[in-house]
Amino acid sequence: MAWFKRNAQGIISQKKKDIPDLWLKCPGCNEIIYKLELERNANVCAQCGHHFRISADGYVKLLLDEGTAEEFHEEITSVDFLKFRAKKKYSDQIKAAIKTTGRKSALLSTRGKMNRRPVVLCVMDFSFIGGSMGSVVGEKISLAIDIAIKEKSPFILISASGGARMMEGAVSLMQMAKTSAKLALLAKAGLPFVSILTDPTTGGVTASYAMLGDVNIAEPGALIGFAGPRVIKQTIGEDLPDGFQRSEFLLKHGFIDAIFSRKNMKEEIGKMLNVFCKDVIDPVIGNGILDTEKKNTAEISPAVEIEEEAKN
């Protein structure tokens, strides 16, 4: 095969053959990783533990029991009410994001079961306009909390966001107050909120619901902060310490409660919910069919068991 061919305009290179991109370089350890191998490992580098970003659907698969996820409010989508235009028209950005992600907003809301316990799970999608929080993300979180309260389910939210969606002006900032107020109602109902912070969680999202969890958990190495490190460095005119605004730095300084590898996330959150919730988990026999007759045998929840043990 010739590498070059001549046409009327001159010499042009042949098009590269469509070779599937099967390998990638890990930014953590510079190892070349086989993509399928990485996917099998929850997109965590087996050498150094670097957490690659995964899709919102990826988190649903990882955290909820197979076949239990049921998405809701997926039809709600943004409206360009300010007719905002910067480099691009906001309305065009919305259309492009819908086309590339196949979703109508930057938030996936779903209910399902985690280790057989019903939960309401929301996952932000960073690939949808940087996971920015606008009126739709705020409204969907608010509606998901309503469902959690109604169904008496714990609420879990996975953040991945560049912050508030400035194309919606002050309305995007109002979502901070709105979601925070709704979370107060969840707390009043005695239901736990587990906030999971992934890379990156910044701006108005960090300044509102992402940091309001009964437990705030981060993935390793995630960038978590309000303003970005470059802006802070320029403002204070000083070099920032190593690892500034990364999960490990935040844990050391008391801003988050724990760091869990994505691979253990379901198990660890499951343990926490066992302590927080005094509900009954439906017992399951063999092939996963609910055995309602045996329900009484599981009436003592793990939280009650812990209390019983303490008394003894």
| Structure-token pair, residue 184 | 């107060």
> Of the candidates 5, 25, 40, 47, which one interacts with Zn ion according to CB under 5 A?
47
Helical H segments across 41-168, by residue range: 56-63, 90-101, 135-151
CB of 123 to Zn ion, least distance (A): 24
- Cα 167 from Cα 94, distance rounded (Å): 11
Q: How many residues does the chain have?
A: 312
Q: How far is the CB of 114 from Zn ion (least distance, A)?
A: 28
Among 24, 35, 48, 227, binds Zn ion (CB under 5 A): 48
Nearer Cβ to Zn ion (29/187): 29
The residue type of 217 is: I
Pick the binder of Zn ion from 42, 43, 50, 125 (CB under 5 A).
Answer: 50
Is there binding between residue 44 and Zn ion (CB under 5 A)?
no
Least Å from the CB of residue 245 to Zn ion: 21
Under rule CB under 5 A, how many of the chain's residues touch Zn ion?
A: 7
Q: How far apart are the C-alpha atoms of 23 and 34, rounded to whole Å?
A: 5
Contact between 24 and Zn ion by CB under 5 A: the answer reads no
End-to-end CA distance of the chain: 81
Cα separation, 83 vs 209, in Å, equals 28
Q: Under DSSP, is residue 197 helix (H, G, I), strand (E, B) or coil?
A: strand
| Nearest to Zn ion of 31, 291 (CB atom) | 31
Hey, which residues does 123 pair with through a beta bridge?
108, 158
Q: Is 26 near Zn ion (CB under 5 A)?
A: yes
Q: What is the per-residue burial (b if ≥16 Cβ within 10 Å, else e) of 47-68?
A: eebbbbebbbbebbebbbbeeb
Q: Which of 5, 14, 25, 29 is the binder for Zn ion (CB under 5 A)?
A: 29
46 binds Zn ion (CB under 5 A): no
Nearer to Zn ion among residue 46 and residue 166 (C-beta): 46
> Given the complex with Zn ion, which of 28 and 228 has the nearer CB atom?
28
Compare residues 140 and 262 and give the one whose CB is closer to Zn ion: 262
> Which of 48/227 has CB closer to Zn ion?
48
Q: How far is the CB of 46 from Zn ion (least distance, A)?
A: 8
Query: Which structure tokens are listed for 127?
Result: 């690939």
In the complex, the smallest distance separating the C-beta of residue 47 from Zn ion, rounded to whole angstroms, is: 4
Q: Toward Zn ion, which CB reaches closer, 28 or 270?
A: 28
d(CA 81, CA 83): 6
Q: Are 217 and 63 a contacting pair, CB within 8 Å?
A: no
Residues in contact with Zn ion by CB under 5 A are 26, 28-29, 45, 47-48, 50
